[in-house]
Amino acid sequence: MKKLKITILPILLFPCCLLAQIPNADFELWLPADLFDPDEYPQYWVAPPHLGAEFYPIEKVYNPNMGQYALKVKNTMPSPSSVGGAPGDIMTTFMPSSQHFRLSMDVKYDTIVPPGRARIEIKGAGFLYTYWVDEQITEEMETIQLDVELPTAYDALTLRIVALGVYNPDYGTPPFDGGYDGYAEIVVDNIIYENVVSAEEAMVGEVENLFPNPTSGLVHIQLPEGVEAEQMKLYNISGALLCQKRNALPAALDLSGLPAGIYQLLVMGSDGKRYWGRVVKK
């Protein structure tokens, strides 16, 4: 297992799995790109424009060890002066429910032509918080972990997987006309989000109850006794903020104008804690 820490956390720590924070984290859900193209996008992920099936950087691959499918990312169309071509990437947004969290995932390199490489990035508000990068071929899927401590809370972050060639004067390729040296292919699967919180001060919890759930309209939020809802935010399953309310008493949200689906709710309590819940709109 490979592990990357970018901050030192308190001594007393324990992992706390809350909600499945990464949309389509096992890549089992795929959709056709459009009516005229047989290629597919993994649902809830943003893929690059199509350049043709032969050079398209996103591929669905079979992974018998971790469900049916995994994701392969590779360089895009090769240029006349290089092996690899421009970077290929795919990304999704997710909601961290703690300032301290961990992402683990299974990865494997299928092909590496130096100095090509692949990297996995976590970004927010224009800043790159952490990334994992490797240049070695791995024959089997291996688990990596990225531990992140944010300087402040964010509504949404971006997880980006990219395979790229790089301009390297030692390889003699000019940095124009799409000239990149190297090539990389990386397979990713089974992305798991975990909160990492202090054992002395757990600042994240789950709402006591959401009712009715499923709902066709109004949903009521029940917090621990004595705790009032100071702010409520509603997100869709891909992490986009849909609406928010402040000092809403009683604690309730109207979902009647939203399409059917799964939604996630964040409540800022009067006790200073953040409470999460999931509601189904029918």
pLDDT tier, 269 (very low <50, low <70, confident <90, very high otherwise): confident
Question: Token pair for residue 212?
Answer: 């009715």
């709402």: which residue's tokens? 207
Sheet bearing 204-206, strands edge to edge: 204-206, 274-281, 261-269, 229-236, 241-246
Amino acid making up residue 281: K
End-to-end Cα distance, the chain: 41
The vertex-161 CA angle with 155 and 165, nearest 5°, equals 140
Using pLDDT thresholds of 50, 70 and 90, give the confidence band for residue 169.
low
Express each pLDDT in 180-223 by its tens digit.
677 788 999 999 998 876 544 455 677 878 899 999 999 999 99
pLDDT at 4: 46
3-state secondary structure 12-54: CEEEECCCCCCCCCCCCCEEEEECCEEEEEECCCECCCCCCCC
Torsion from C-alpha of 149, 154, 160, 166, nearest 10 degrees: -70
Q: Give how far the C-alpha of residue 53 lies from the chain's centroid of Cα atoms, to the nearest Å.
A: 25
Query: Domain-by-domain residue ranges, the chain?
Result: 2-198, 204-281
Phi then psi for 156, rounded to 5 degrees? -150, 145
CATH number of 2-198: 2.60.120.260
Does domain 204-281 fall into CATH 2.60.40.1220? yes
Q: Counting Cβ atoms within 10 Å, is residue 222 exposed (0-12), middle (13-18) or buried (19+)? A: middle
Please report which confidence band the pLDDT of residue 2 belongs to, taking 50, 70 and 90 as the band edges. low
Strand partners, 211: 220
